Amino acid sequence: MTDTAEKASVTKSSVIKLNDNFVLTNGQTIKNRLFKSAMSEQLGTKNHEPQPGIATLYGRWAKGGIGLAMTGNVMIDRTALGEPKNIVLDDQSDLQKFKQWAEAGKQNNAHIWVQLNHPGKQIPSFLCDQPVAPSAISLGRGLDKGFNTPRELTESEILSIINKFAISAKLSQQAGFSGVQIHGAHGYLISQFLSSRHNQRTDKWGGSLENRMRFVLSVYQAIRLQVGPIFPVGIKLNSADFMKGGFTEEESMQVVQALSDAGIDLIEISGGTYESPSMMGAKDKKETVKQSTIKREAYFLDYMEKVRKLVATPLVVTGGFRSGSAMNEALQTSATDFVGLARTMAIDPEFPNKLLADNSHSMPLAVPTTGKPVLDRMASVGLVWYEHQMWRIAKGKNSKPNLSALGVVFKTLLSAGLFAFKKRRA
């Protein structure tokens, strides 16, 4: 275990519970163990500023009892968007709008961190003719039809992107957010650098794992120089990308150790890429989730138990949790310090308060469907249905658990045209 990680302090208790607080190494206290993981809100303006409704959305979540909320991915470069309505935070941004967002998200003693991201080659072709990536390798499994083959980054471009991460982190701090998270998962740029499948460079940024992790470590170090030693900096990292020749579980653990040694404040574990979307609940279309995973409700908890033996850096596991009993059980294993929530928050902003009031509270989620599997896939119903729930909350309305999936498809088509039926993101 690292000296830095060992400084993390936990409320003294024989049994860790969801309502126990947690003190980060920098002294910031998170009031409970509930963590809202990032979901893409698609609430950016045409100039990629935050829409006013995003403050309403995060204000609801803050009042709903969440301890720490992570924003949806905020892009560091307005020429590299993962989705049409992404929010961008750079030198051209109106910082006052971000300040309003941060202030709303900090109500009720909650914390709100900005998730910073660069999509690399994972940019839909209708948004970019030629994306950039560690190597000029297209996405596989037929995705090359919706995503153009990238151009290999030059050394100077790599250094420029590292600096953009640092600038966005500094602006997040100035806007009043509680911290930042580096998005290093789900097949985006940092994930691409880590994967030997996607990173086949022969310079210092590719080849060995030591070289492939140089980019993410450089991003962290550049951010740290900009924000100072106290401001929290976390990362979302894949446990593996579940692709042949890709980022493995063993490599992931080595990266976790390196980041822990470097002083990262919080590590959230997820998994998969757009090519193999394990963050959605299964490693592959042909594979099923293990029964033990279903019972525990956590997709990556087995991996977390292995990581906990290596580092004491605060950990978050996200994916699959639906009941208070499973969340408390996960905390009691000491494999994780926080429980990540996502879609349940889009359906019920009060879900954290209900969990804290009743350990047996649960909220099973039905899979939204139009009744036509082909249409579901074409329109990405599993994504846009939850976006529409967040848009309702952003407008000051309540979410609608019985919202018609078919109605969502038609509304999306009317607002986005044929682009609604194009692949957008992981």
CB count in 10 Å sphere of residue 143: 17
> Identity (one letter) of the amino acid at 318?
T
Q: What is the mean pLDDT of residues 321-343?
A: 92
Closest CA to 310 of 36, 5, 102: 5
pLDDT of residue 277: 39
**pLDDT at residue 232 is higher than 90:** yes
Return the higher-pLDDT residue of 129 and 161. Answer: 161
Tell me the H-state helices in 309-350: 324-332, 343-347
Q: pLDDT at position 415, please?
A: 64
* Cα end-to-end distance, the chain, whole Å: 32
- Backbone φ and ψ for 238, nearest 5 degrees, come out as -75, 140
Share of the chain above pLDDT 90, in %: 69
Residues 239-270: tens digit of each pLDDT: 866 555 667 889 999 999 999 999 999 999 87
| Mean pLDDT within 311-338 | 90
DSSP 343-379: HHHHH-TTHHHHHHH-TT-B---PPP--S-HHHHHHT
Degrees (nearest 5) of the Cα angle 320, 243, 426? 50
Residue 226 has pLDDT above 80, yes or no: yes
C-alpha Rg value of the chain to the nearest Å: 20
Q: H or E segment at 308?
A: helix 301-308
What are the structural domains, with CATH classification, of the chain? Answer: 3-365 (3.20.20.70), 367-426 (no CATH)
pLDDT category at 413 given cuts 50, 70, 90 is: confident
Separation of alpha carbons 70 and 393, rounded Å: 17
Q: What is the pLDDT of residue 241?
A: 65
Residue burial 350-367, b: 16+ Cβ < 10 Å; e: rest:
ebbbbbbeeeebbbeeee
- The label of the residue with tokens 């889009």 reads 346
Q: Is the pLDDT of residue 42 over 80?
A: yes
What CA–CA distance (Å, rounded) separates 275 from 425?
10
H or E stretch at 383: helix 381-394
Check residues 292 and 45 and name the one with the higher pLDDT: 45
Given a cut of 80, is residue 74 above it in pLDDT? Answer: yes
Pairing relation of β-strands 151-152 and 233-238?
A: unpaired
- Rounded mean pLDDT, 227-231: 97
Strands (E), 142-178: 151-152
Mean predicted confidence (pLDDT) in 392-416: 89
pLDDT of amino acid 240: 66
Query: Six-digit token pair at 345?
Result: 């928050």
CA dihedral for 368, 113, 312, 329, sign (positive or negative): negative
Give 280-289 contacts, CB < 8 A, sequence gap 24+.
280/382, 281/319, 281/320, 283/242, 284/242
Token match 């309003």: residue? Answer: 100
CB 66 within 8 A of CB 352: yes
Assess whether pLDDT exceeds 70 at residue 275.
Answer: no
pLDDT at 296: 40
Burial of 264 (C-beta count, 10 Å sphere; 0-12/13-18/19+)? buried
The torsion of the CA quartet 50, 80, 274, 318, rounded to 10 degrees, works out to: -40
pLDDT at 299: 64
Average pLDDT of 29-56?
A: 97
What's the distance, CA 230 to chain centroid?
22
Q: Is the pLDDT of residue 285 over 60?
A: no
| pLDDT of amino acid 170 | 98
Distances (CA, A) of 275 to 7, 139, 170, 184: 38, 7, 32, 16
Backbone dihedral region for residue 285 (phi beyond 0: left; psi -120 to 50: alpha; all else: beta): alpha
Average pLDDT of every residue of the chain: 87
| Residues 380, 280: Cα–Cα separation, whole Å | 12
Is residue 273 left, alpha or beta, with left meaning phi > 0 and alpha meaning psi from -120 to 50? Answer: beta
**More confident of the two residues 52 and 418:** 52
Q: What is the pLDDT of residue 141?
A: 60
> pLDDT value at position 385?
95
pTM, two decimals, is 0.89
> What does the pLDDT read at residue 402?
93
Which of 15-19, 67-71, 73-77, 138-142 comes out lowest in average pLDDT? Answer: 138-142
pLDDT at 256: 95
DSSP at 401: T
Q: Which amino acid is at 119?
A: P
CA distance 160 to 426: 24
Span 135-172, pLDDT tens digits: 999 886 666 667 899 999 999 999 999 999 999 999 99
Confidence class for position 5, pLDDT limits 50, 70, 90: very low
Mean local confidence (pLDDT), 229-233: 97
Q: Please check the confidence at residue 283 and state whether its pLDDT lies above 60.
A: no
- Helix, strand or coil, per DSSP, at residue 306: helix
